[in-house]
């Protein structure tokens, strides 16, 4: 852990310092209103300026000068958080141990917690605006009645108007002064806070890896690796190793040449076989054509034989029919002869 001053700072002196001059100016106006000093001030102007002063007082706790005390009182807690974070993100490079982390968010978050930055940003514009608004309000309040009938009364009203206008501008002047006064302490407080932050970050610088350091170590590590690789190559690649490697390479080349020769022989043999196979296919084609022609001739012969056979069958049918008729005729004749013989036999028997 880095060393910081743990002494608590009292906020009250800083609050009173920011409030001092605006309060003194208001008291001077109040004395002028009560005629203790030769400074003319109207009651409405006093009330308006007092209202602006109250708003200024409510803004003081958001001023960087006041917040600086709060920053110093709570920075030790932030440092403890940062130390814990760094211990959890340790990285060793080249035997050196540091943290690989970004601590900027811790301080930024702490600064946002000790004050409302939105109030601080609008303060420089709100006080002059309130001053101008107060001026117009004071003029409106001191506006005389121009409907009077007498000349003396009108002159008196104009005198009141001019008197009121003169004191009304006190509000604008007071608002502009508060804006300048606010900016002075705001810038002064921011400068001190930034200085304290930078001092703490400077102490942490030796505990955190910078981007340039990491890049440098990467380059150095790469160079070291390359050097080791070169040394290994030098240790391995000796003259004996090169000769052995050359011998192995020559053997591989010889084997490749032998394979190439075998491939050429096989290619020639395959070429011859392909040529022979082509001739066989050609011959087969011729034989196939001849066979087809023979099949066609056989088909024609079969067709003719079928026609002849069919003709013979038809003729046989005709002859068979004629033969049947002849046989029937002969049988009929035989039947007639048989009848005649039977009749003749019967006559011969009867004659006896």
Q: Looking at residue 9, what DSSP letter applies? A: P
Q: What is the DSSP letter of 41?
A: -
151 within a domain of the structure (yes/no)? yes
Query: Is 192 in the same domain as 79?
Result: yes
Same domain, 204 and 250: no
Both tokens of 168, joined, read 């009304």
Task: Check pLDDT > 80 for residue 233.
Answer: no
Query: What is the per-residue pLDDT across 66-118, written as a single tens digit (0 to 9) for each?
Result: 888 888 888 878 888 888 888 888 777 767 777 777 788 888 888 788 887 78
Same domain, 129 and 245: no
Give, in order, the Cα–Cα distances in Å from 8 to each of 63, 67, 90, 270: 19, 13, 32, 102
* End position of a domain, from candidates 210, 229, 255: 210
Domain count, the chain: 2
Q: Among candidates 133, 98, 136, 77, which has minimal Cα distance to 212? A: 98
Q: Which domain holds residue 326?
A: 239-352
Same domain, 43 and 187: yes
Q: Is residue 159 part of a domain?
A: yes
Instruction: Determine how β-strand 90-93 pairs with β-strand 96-99.
Output: antiparallel
User: What per-residue confidence (pLDDT) applies to 275?
Assistant: 82
Supply the pLDDT for residue 163: 58
Greatest Cα pair distance, the chain, in angstroms, is 217
Q: pLDDT > 90: what percent of the chain?
A: 12
Tokens in use for 312? 């013979």
202 is a domain residue? yes
The DSSP letter of residue 7 is P
Are residues 43 and 96 both part of a single domain? yes
């Amino acid at each position: 852990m880095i060393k910081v001053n743990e002494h608590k700072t009292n906020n009250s002196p800083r609050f009173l310092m920011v409030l001092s001059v605006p309060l003194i100016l208001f008291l001077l106006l109040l004395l002028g209103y009560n005629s203790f000093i030769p400074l003319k001030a109207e009651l409405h102007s006093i009330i308006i300026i007092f209202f602006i002063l109250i708003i200024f007082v409510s803004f003081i706790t958001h001023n960087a000068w006041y917040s600086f005390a709060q920053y110093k009182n709570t920075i030790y807690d932030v440092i403890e958080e940062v130390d814990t974070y760094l211990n959890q993100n340790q990285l060793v490079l080249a035997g050196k141990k540091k943290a690989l982390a970004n601590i900027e968010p811790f301080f930024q978050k702490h600064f946002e917690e000790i004050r409302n930055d939105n109030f601080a940003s609008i303060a420089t514009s709100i006080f002059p605006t309130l001053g101008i608004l107060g001026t117009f309000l004071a003029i409106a309040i001191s506006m005389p009645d121009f409907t009077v009938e007498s000349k003396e009364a009108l002159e008196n009203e104009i005198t009141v108007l001019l008197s009121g206008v003169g004191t009304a501008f006190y509000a604008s002047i007071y608002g502009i002064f508060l804006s300048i006064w606010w900016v002075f302490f705001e810038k002064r407080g921011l400068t001190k806070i930034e200085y304290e932050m930078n001092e703490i970050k400077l102490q942490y610088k030796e505990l955190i890896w910078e981007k340039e350091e990491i890049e440098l170590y990467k380059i150095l590590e790469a160079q070291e690796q390359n050097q080791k690789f070169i040394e290994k190559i030098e240790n391995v690649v000796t003259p004996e190793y090169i000769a052995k490697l050359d011998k192995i390479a020559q053997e591989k080349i010889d084997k490749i040449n032998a394979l190439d020769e075998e491939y050429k022989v096989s290619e020639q043999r395959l070429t011859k076989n392909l040529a022979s196979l082509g001739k066989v296919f050609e011959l087969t084609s011729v034989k196939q054509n001849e066979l087809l022609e023979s099949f066609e001739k056989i088909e024609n012969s079969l067709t003719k034989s079928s026609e002849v056979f069919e003709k013979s069958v038809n003729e046989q049918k005709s002859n068979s029919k004629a033969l049947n008729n002849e046989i029937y005729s002969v049988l009929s004749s035989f039947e007639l002869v048989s009848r005649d013989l039977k009749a003749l036999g019967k006559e011969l028997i009867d004659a006896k």
